[in-house]
Amino acid sequence: MASITRLKSGSWRVQVRRKGRYVNETFVRYDDAKSWGVESERKIDRGETPVVSRIARAQSFGDLIDLHIADMKEVGKAPGRSKLATLLMLKRRLGRKTMIEIDRECIIKFGRERSSEGAGPTTVGIDVGVIKLVLQHAAAVHGLLVQVEPVDLGRIALKRLGLVGPSNERDRRPTEEELARLIHHFDSNPRQIIPMGRIIKYAVASTMRQEEICRIVWPDHNGRTQMLTIRDRKDPRAKKGNDQTIPLLSVSGYDANALIEEQRSFRSNDDDRIFPFKHKSVSTVFTRACQDLGIEDLHFHDLRHEGTSRLFEAGFQIHQVALVTGHKDWKMLRRYTHLRPEALHSLAASWAAE
C-alpha cells in the first residue's frame, strides 16, 4: 500500500515500496498523490516502470503550458493554430519563470515589451488572457497553488497605460484606381505564375479570406447553381466542421462564378484546389506589388472588407451579407459598413426604379 504523508509545505509525498522497488513523488493535492500511488503499484505488479507524474514535475510556467496543451488534447479539444502559436510564444518568453514569478510586475513588463514590438492593444490583451487561462487551468483542474489575481492587476495597469484595449476598427478600402493598377501590374507580367489579377477580383467578389481562397476545391463548386461550399470556415466557436455554402454573386463589379470558371482551363490533375497556391505566397506577392506601386497601407484582407462593403452598397441587408461573408455575429458586420457617400446615388436610383 502506498504511504502518503503531508509535508510542512502543505504538499503530499507519496512513497511506494513494492517487490523491491521504491519510487516517490510530491503533489499539491492529496487525490493526485493517491491516484499516482495506486497506478504506480499496478505498474510494478505488471513489471513496468512507474512514470514521473507530469503534475508533480510542473515547476515552471512553461510546465503549466505543456500541461494545459496535453490536457486539452486528451479531451479532444487541442488548441487551434492561433491559440497554439500564442501558447508557444508565451512559453518562449515566460516559460522559464516559476509560478510565483508570474506576478503583476511580470505582466506589466511583458505587456510593455509586446507593445514596443508592435503588438496592438487587442493582441496584448489576448496574450494576457491566455496567461490567465493557463494559470486558471492549473488551479481548477489540478489544484496547483498558483495566483491569478496578479494577472488581473497587471491587466488593469496595462489598460490604464493604454496598452490593452479594443482595437481601432480598420476602415481602409482600396480605390478603384488602386485595384486597377494592381490588376494591370499582375496581368501585364508574363512571369507572374500566380494569377493575382484574378485572385484579387475573386477576393472582392466572394469576400473570402486568402486562406479560404487557396483551400477551396473543384468538387465543392456548382457552376450551374453558382454556389460554393467552404470547408472548415473560420469561426471562433467551431474550429472544425464549420462548412458553409455561399452564393457566388456578381454585384461587386466582378463575377465570382465566372472567375472560377476562368480557372478551369488551368485545373491540375495533381491538385484538386481551384486556386492551387500557398496563401502566404499570395499575401507576400500582393504586399510586394503594393510597395512597388507606392500603394500605402493596403493589406490583402482589405479586399474582404471591400467586397463586404460593396454588398451593402448594392442594397443587401446585414442578414443577407452574412450568408456570403460567414459572420455568425451580425454586430461584427457593422465594422464593414464603411460605405462611400457616392454609393447612395445608385441605391436611391434602384429604389426609384422599383
CATH number of 176-353: 1.10.443.10
- What is the domain partition of the chain in residue ranges? 3-45, 61-160, 176-353
Reply yes or no on whether the pLDDT at 32 is more than 70.
yes
- Is the Cβ–Cβ distance between 35 and 22 less than 8 Å? no
Q: 27 falls in which pLDDT band (50, 70, 90)?
A: confident
pLDDT in tens, 272-301: 999 999 999 999 999 999 999 999 999 999
Q: 344 falls in which pLDDT band (50, 70, 90)?
A: low
- Is the Cβ–Cβ distance between 311 and 337 less than 8 Å? no
- The alpha carbon torsion through 127, 129, 135, 141 (nearest 10 deg) reads -120
The three grid cell numbers given for residue 292, joined into one nine-digit string: 512597388
Q: 321 falls in which pLDDT band (50, 70, 90)?
A: very high
pLDDT in tens, 58-94: 778 998 998 899 889 888 888 888 899 999 999 999 9
- Is the Cβ–Cβ distance between 4 and 34 less than 8 Å? yes
Average pLDDT, integer, range 171-184: 94
| CA–CA separation, 278 and 255 (whole Å) | 23
| CA–CA separation, 249 and 229 (whole Å) | 14
Q: What is the pLDDT of residue 242?
A: 82
Q: What distances in angstroms separate CA 246 from CA 42, 217, 324, one per listed residue?
A: 56, 14, 5
| CA 186 to centroid of chain Cα atoms | 30
Burial class (CB in 10 A: 0-12, 13-18, 19+), 352: exposed
